[in-house]
Amino acid sequence: MEHPILPLRDAPALLDEAAVWFSGHWGIPAAEYRESMEQCLRRKSPVPQWYMVRDGGLPERMYTAPALSPAIRP
């Protein structure tokens, strides 16, 4: 089964869902993720891009670029 990798800039409607997922997974407030993701969309972020992996239309895993966040692992 293929799991498409979606750059947030290609799927900005997923921003809130992604922020909530990261918050629940890592225990950092969703507002912090939301701010970083909004900056990414405006291209004014230290994180150049956020990526999401989708499985059957529901979020399976969502990660930032591994080279930028080596502590984030599946």
Mean pLDDT of 40-58: 78
- State how far the Cα of 9 lies from the Cα of 25, in Å rounded to an integer: 22
Residue 65 resides in a domain: no
According to DSSP, residue 9 is labeled G
Residue 57 resides in a domain: no
**Domain housing 35:** 8-49
- Each residue of 3-18: pLDDT tens digit? 778 899 999 999 999 9
Q: Which residue has the higher pLDDT, 56 or 45?
A: 45
Residue 71 resides in a domain: no
Residue 64 resides in a domain: no
Residue 67 resides in a domain: no
With 90 as the cut, is the pLDDT of residue 34 above it? yes
Q: Give helix 30-41 / helix 15-26 axis angle, nearest 10°.
A: 140
- State how far the Cα of 26 lies from the Cα of 58, in Å rounded to an integer: 19
Number of domains in the chain: 1
Residue 37 resides in a domain: yes
pTM comes to 0.68
